[in-house]
Structure 1
Amino acid sequence: MSVDTQGTDLVQLVALLGAAVIAVPISKRLGLGTVLGYLAAGLVIGPYGLKLFTDPQSILHVAELGVVLFLFIIGLEMRPSRLWSLRGEIFGLGLAQVVACSALLTGLGIVAGFPPAVAFIAGMGFVLSSTAIVMQILEERGDTATPAGQRVISILLLEDLAIVPMLAIVALLGTHGSDGEAQSRWISILIAIASLAALIAAGRWLLNPMFRILANVQAREVMTAAALLVVLGAALAMQIGGLSMAMGAFLAGVLLSESSFRHQLEADIEPFRGILLGLFFLSVGMSLDLGVIARHWQMIAIGVVAYMALKAVGIYVVARVLKADHAEAMARAAMLAQGGEFAFVLYAAATAGGVFTGEVNAMLTATVIISMALTPLAVLSLKWLLPPATPEQIEEDFEGAGGRVLMIGFGRFGQISAQFLLAEGVDVTAIDSDAEMIRAASRFGFKVYFGDGTRLDVLHAAGIERAQIVAVCTDKPEVTDKIVELIQSEFPFVQLYVRAYDRGHTLRLLKKGVTYQMRETLESAFTFGASALEGLGVAPERIESISESLRSRDAARLAAQQAGGLLSAGRDLFVTKAFKPEPEPLTVPKREAKALNKEAESATAEPVD
């Protein structure tokens, strides 16, 4: 490669990164989301902007891997049992929406004067929504794990499957259907089935042994390479079979969703997913042909409005018929009203088959891209059209629950505690009654079920019978006590690990006989105090001595209080200002509890916990 070519490549790479770094934060600050920022940046640096790129399609082919990696991560969060539970939504709701919207948009094309074949293919390109844009919006809103979000994902999965028969129909419309071509289509179907079967077999019997072997090598870069190999290999297998690459990656994720390596895989894939998905949106923005828009702007403008409005109506009606409430139906219509990236494939195939002319292809492609750009604005407009979501709008759905650890309460304390368990591959079922917290947690990949831990039916649904440990991490002591009492009454043999509020709450929990309790501020306060001494230049040995003495006094006083019940239950630990740590840890026998209590009553005191 020449120096000039290398320089050009570097300029383009810097332009891509610079456009994203500048445009996306501005778009986020304006409340427009990241997708619109990427699309605008792509338009600016593309063939019709600064002309830093002349062939956006070449970038688009590479950037489609971002969608592939995104679907793999979604698959990791969706276990086979969960996917099976969604079969009704996938083949019921998804199919109903595709059929209804196909009929509406085909009819619109015929009314607009297109021949029936052209009207059908043009409409189908719009029926297949943008998986990349919709999934990005769901992730930013934290809705991927909510029941409404799962229904949207089910529709997207059905649309991914629909690309296969759509391409077959395009091939049929573009030919006269000779015997040789019919035989070729049957061969293609058999190859698709074989590819799918091979992928499922590899997922069941090869992937976990392979990752176990690689984990023993203890080379992080090899595990990362293996993760990419699995995703791209699955995508390639589906592509060879004529299926969607994204569908292949999703199935690979589902097959690995119960693996002990899934959290490691997600961590390895995430950086590549984010960069490539952003590159995909940039390349879509570059692909917008302003020349075609200038020549046919009236027809394209009418087409964008008509297609999006009619598809939104179809989505809303199907949602309402299938028992969705008004808010969910509106949100679904706003998110799915655009055309998708599969339209580019479908329209290109129609052009190659002689169904479309090049100009019609360019017009329809521009219509789809504009609809994709308008989607974030349509979703944003819902803030003014709909009231904010309330916790009651999230359903209790415990499909897939039943881990070794049941965690009740997933606030700050629970989230940090869960990371230790997840890092070891322990299956954690987390429940919480705060809808906003559930949405926020899903942005970081946590699957949290909506439910009230003080209800016996919720505990049963969350799989408490299969849990080895129940971790009660709620932040209100009265709620915590209620949960502990309920569990001890109904499930007396389960191990209870409980977050305590203060010293008085700790004494109550000890009296109840929980397996383990921890005051929520104790360890952080000890660490903070030790760090402050370190900042003042105190020797590490002295800090350690102080820390050990304080811990010993705290443990001794707690033991005395528990044994004698001499201090009031609500009182925290008190020490004098002139406290000097003892050289050896203190032990306080039960008979000295009364004297220790007296000392605490008479001391000039400050609370430390």
Structure 2
Amino acid sequence: MSESALRDGVVLLGFALVFVLLFRRLGLGATLAFLVAGAVVGPQALGLVGNVEQKRGIAELGITLLLFLVGLELSPSRLWRLRDDIFGLGLLQVGLCAMALTGVIWGIASFSPTAALAVALPLALSSTAQVLPMLQSAGRLRTPFGERAFSILLFQDLSIVPLITIIAALSRAPAPPGATPGWLLAIYTILAVGGLVAAGRFVLRPMFRLIGNLGEREMFIFAALFTVISAAAIMEWLGLSTALGAFIAGVMLADSPYRHELEADVDPFRSILLGLFFLSVGMLLDLHAIAARPVFVIGMAAALIATKTVIITGIGMIFRMGWRQALGLGLLLSQGGEFGFVLFAQAQGALLIAPEAASLFGAIVTLSMATTPFLMAFTKRFRTAPERTSEGMEEPRADGASALVIGYGRFGQTVAQMLSAQQIKVTLIDRDIEMIETAGSFGMKVYYGDGMRMDLLRQAGAGDAQLIAFCTDGDQLDREFLEAVHVAFPDAAIFARAFDRRSLIKMDGAPIVGTVREVFESAIVMARDAMANLGVDSELIARTEDEYRRRDASRLRAQADQGDLHAQADQMFTHRSIAEAIEQESTPG
């Protein structure tokens, strides 16, 4: 058995590695690669791996770990903020999609209304395991778009218990002895969530505090996995969603000081098990069912995707999303989900659908999941708003301002706001159209234009200004340009933001009043605070700062004179620098 498990592991990991590398090279997602790899090694194709159901049972831990990590990203306050989207957007999505798909299945598959509803309810759900990693990899999970997608997915996970209850109520099979009534399942859900919340506050936090004091990193990993698995086991014991239990446990630890450590510890297990889950889904894909009725499977998958896309896009627009974002949301959630396999089994056990139908619709769900990366890639140009142009943007003009601030990003905003606080009239210039529109929403007037052009500076009133502050991002300024600005506007004091040492060297010798290296001062402030926190004497902190500034200025001067970044490398600041400085101070003469 051990030898067989090792062989299966080698085959699965080997095929997964090859397909993921290939699909990434082709610009496709890892999820689709895992599905295809699973189908290739599964019993329907090469038959290289057996005991698929057992592997899928282990792999479903990947979904549980994924929901735990998602919970860690959501503090209770943020979750409360999303309540309207969760229970408004989510409820509408599940309800309307289930009703529409019931009609589609009843019409296309000639099922009875009861059987059509039993199949439509699972199809209304989307794939949390597929969508969340896509949002995370694109960096969109914490954006308004990502939060709305997550809100719908969270409601879908919450709706698992009610959907199981509905299918049980529709059941044609005699109730098994000792079966839990649906109303009791709902009470269990409320009690279980309350219990997990209490455990998070009174058990988990003290436990992680104790482990943190011991300084045993390995114990964090054990404790994190114990937390996830026990929360899932409690929910499974009650007949509820294991993923929901892990999610609640994550939420309870979201605003704890151990959140980032837990994320780092759990994420590798989540990645491996989630990949294994999609491999198992691919292995379970009934290729014979597709081959027997290819037109029905492909047509039904297309009908599923089209129906959900149209309905979710419409709901998104009702909730004041732009049509492009609403369409993106519809396409992203258009597939069937992993919980569909669970609900199909429930419907089969309730004698609502035949085993062949459960297998057929499982293939439809898998096929719909496989299309999502393609749909998102192929529709990107339709969903992406066209680049904004400067048409209609007001160019700067001389209006008697005392200061010109060129660049209204994160740096320029601080400079401009502090000048304005002293009732100094400021003209703001930027060429980032999105930034200009955002600033306008806050009541700030920013003119469109390239502040590196002499004619535009003159048009903006630089000839009468007392100050010109170049706060542009990147490495745009040099001595030649700044000399030209000084010659053209000799009465204006020139300040410049420097990106790094190279920027300062490029501006060396320019007729400017002052330069500020972008992160230099903030880094020194953090170093001072860090030393103070570690108990370093305040006098030694001040001496360390002075010596660092002296050596940095000396190196910068030498680098500018010699045009070599390695000049005075021996003067770089090390642990011996302060000792040498103290020794020099104590040496007579």
Structure 2 length-normalised TM: 0.70
Answer whether contact 2:332 2:376 (CA < 8 A) is retained: yes
Among candidates 24, 28, 32, match of residue 28 of structure 1: 24
Answer whether contact 2:131 2:333 (CA < 8 A) is retained: yes
The alignment covers a number of residue pairs equal to 462
- Residue 336 of structure 2 corresponds to 339
- Residue 64 of structure 2 corresponds to 68
What residue identity is the alignment partner of 1:237? Answer: I
- Residue 57 of structure 1 corresponds to 53
Pair 1:557–1:383, CA change in 2 (3 A): closer
Distance in structure 2 (CA, Å) of the matches to 1:201 and 1:572: 61
- Residue 102 of structure 1 corresponds to 98
1:367-406 paired onto structure 2 within 5 Å = 367-387=364-384
Structure 1 residue 556, shift from structure 2 partner: 6.7
Structure 1 residue 182, shift from structure 2 partner: 9.2
Pair 1:317–1:41, CA change in 2 (3 A): same
Answer whether contact 1:20 1:38 (CA < 8 A) is retained: yes
Answer whether contact 1:20 1:41 (CA < 8 A) is retained: yes
Distance in structure 2 (CA, Å) of the matches to 1:390 and 1:272: 40
Distance in structure 2 (CA, Å) of the matches to 1:151 and 1:239: 28
Among candidates 352, 355, 363, match of residue 360 of structure 2: 363
Answer whether contact 1:194 1:241 (CA < 8 A) is retained: no
Pair 1:143–1:390, CA change in 2 (3 A): farther
Between stretches 233-242 and 144-153, larger displacement belongs to: 233-242
Among candidates 218, 236, 240, match of residue 239 of structure 1: 236
SS at match of 1:114: coil
Distance in structure 2 (CA, Å) of the matches to 1:305 and 1:556: 69
Structure 1 residue 303, shift from structure 2 partner: 1.1
Among candidates 252, 256, 262, match of residue 253 of structure 2: 256
What residue identity is the alignment partner of 2:267? Answer: E
- 1:147 matches 2:144: yes
SS at match of 1:355: coil
- Residue 406 of structure 2 corresponds to none
What residue identity is the alignment partner of 2:105? Answer: G
SS at match of 2:372: helix
Deviations for 1:198-235, whole angstroms, at most 9, x for unmatched residues? Answer: 10111122211110111222222111000111111222
- 1:41 matches 2:37: yes
- Residue 201 of structure 2 corresponds to 204
Distance in structure 2 (CA, Å) of the matches to 1:341 and 1:381: 24
Distance in structure 1 (CA, Å) of the matches to 2:64 and 2:554: 58
Pair 1:451–1:139, CA change in 2 (3 A): farther
Distance in structure 1 (CA, Å) of the matches to 2:569 and 2:350: 88
- Residue 352 of structure 1 corresponds to 349
Structure 1 residue 344, shift from structure 2 partner: 0.6
SS at match of 1:502: helix
Pair 1:166–1:225, CA change in 2 (3 A): same
Distance in structure 2 (CA, Å) of the matches to 1:434 and 1:225: 49
Among candidates 90, 110, 127, match of residue 130 of structure 1: 127
Answer whether contact 2:173 2:349 (CA < 8 A) is retained: no
What residue identity is the alignment partner of 1:304? Answer: A
- 1:305 matches 2:307: no
Answer whether contact 2:161 2:186 (CA < 8 A) is retained: no
1:520-559 paired onto structure 2 within 5 Å = 552-555=550-553
Deviations for 1:437-472, whole angstroms, at most 9, x for unmatched residues? Answer: xxxxxxxxxxxxx98799799xxxxxxxxxxxxxxx
Pair 1:434–1:80, CA change in 2 (3 A): farther
Answer whether contact 1:192 1:242 (CA < 8 A) is retained: no
- Residue 187 of structure 1 corresponds to 184
Distance in structure 2 (CA, Å) of the matches to 1:359 and 1:322: 39
Distance in structure 2 (CA, Å) of the matches to 1:223 and 1:435: 47
What residue identity is the alignment partner of 1:121? Answer: A
Answer whether contact 1:193 1:241 (CA < 8 A) is retained: no
Distance in structure 2 (CA, Å) of the matches to 1:552 and 1:454: 44
1:271-290 paired onto structure 2 within 5 Å = 271-290=268-287
Structure 1 residue 326, shift from structure 2 partner: 1.4
- Residue 504 of structure 2 corresponds to 502
Stretches of structure 2 that go unaligned for 5 or more consecutive residues are: 390-408, 412-430, 445-470, 478-497, 526-545, 572-576
Pair 1:73–1:499, CA change in 2 (3 A): farther
Pair 1:296–1:553, CA change in 2 (3 A): closer
Structure 1 residue 299, shift from structure 2 partner: 1.8
Pair 1:574–1:177, CA change in 2 (3 A): same
What residue identity is the alignment partner of 1:387? Answer: T
Structure 1 residue 177, shift from structure 2 partner: 8.9
Deviations for 1:154-192, whole angstroms, at most 9, x for unmatched residues? Answer: 000011111111100111111589899897333322222
What residue identity is the alignment partner of 1:332? Answer: L
- Residue 401 of structure 2 corresponds to none
- Residue 7 of structure 1 corresponds to 3
What residue identity is the alignment partner of 2:58? Answer: V
